[in-house]
Amino acid sequence: MSGFEDITYEIEDRAAIITINRPERYNAFRGKTVEELIKAFRHAWADSRVSAVILTGAGEKAFCTGGDVKQRAETGDYGPTESGMFEIGYLHKVIRDIPKPVIAAVNGIAVGGGHVLHVLCDLTIAAETAKFGQAGPRVGSFDAGFGSAFLARVVGEKRAREIWYLCRQYDAATAERWGLVNWVVPQDKLLDEAKSVAAEIAEKSPTAIKFLKQSFNADTDHQAGLSNLAMSALDLFGKSEEGLEGAQAFAEKRPAEFGKFVKA
């Protein structure tokens, strides 16, 4: 499948491999990136040759660092799209709804919206050099939908609150201990391991896998409503003085001055 600018898409054996290809921006996504990811996932959904999807990032530094904060600082949004919308919420839905397991192969930093993407995947395999965490409150952003509520289901309330409130980064060994990733492998073995897991899945009944994924999702599908509410709130917040301060501070490489926004 060709014609993409921000991602690459290929099929190897029974796996579709989707790679976020913006290494110069640490694989941060803009509106166009999200749109292309949605198209790729939908293509994998419809392709009878595909039993599983592998999501990864280009290079060795970053899996995905979330929304392109530099783009937001420059233009006040995440750039133009064909639909005229920034459809990150719909991307989350597609990753959950595609009736095929999605394997995150985390090759480097997974923070912010990139961290949310790997959490939403069915399985996560991490390179030993991978780093995990949130950055939203540091740059004037948040994900109060799947990014927080579903994360709490994965690692528990206390860990999820720590991840969001403190915006620290955690190594792969810690992420594995917390149940945030399934297992950790050497950097040079990461993609081979993901392909091996995809091949194991391909040996199983696709209908059974489909029903199992839908069953796992059913318990948390109500969080989609929270996600819609959160995305609407984030759209408003991102245009506020406080939200813009976070983006500008990041772009200018200075500490954000959030103290003036504290309210009683």
Residue ranges of the annotated binding site for substrate are 78, 109-113, 141, 253
Q: Provide CB contacts within 8 A for 2, sequence distance 6+.
A: none
Q: Which two tokens stand for residue 197?
A: 């897991």
Residue numbers belonging to the annotated binding site: 78, 109-113, 141, 253
Closest C-alpha among 167, 200, 190, 162 to residue 58: 190
Distance CA 181, CA 175 (A): 6
Q: Provide CB contacts within 8 A for 229, sequence distance 6+.
A: 144, 145
Residue type, position 44, single letter: A
Q: Which runs of E-coded beta strand occur in 98-245?
A: 102-106, 109-111, 123-127, 131-133, 169-171, 183-185
Asked if 58 and 19 count as a contact pair (C-beta separation under 8 A), the reply is yes
Asked if 196 and 151 count as a contact pair (C-beta separation under 8 A), the reply is no
Q: Which two tokens stand for residue 233?
A: 């709130």
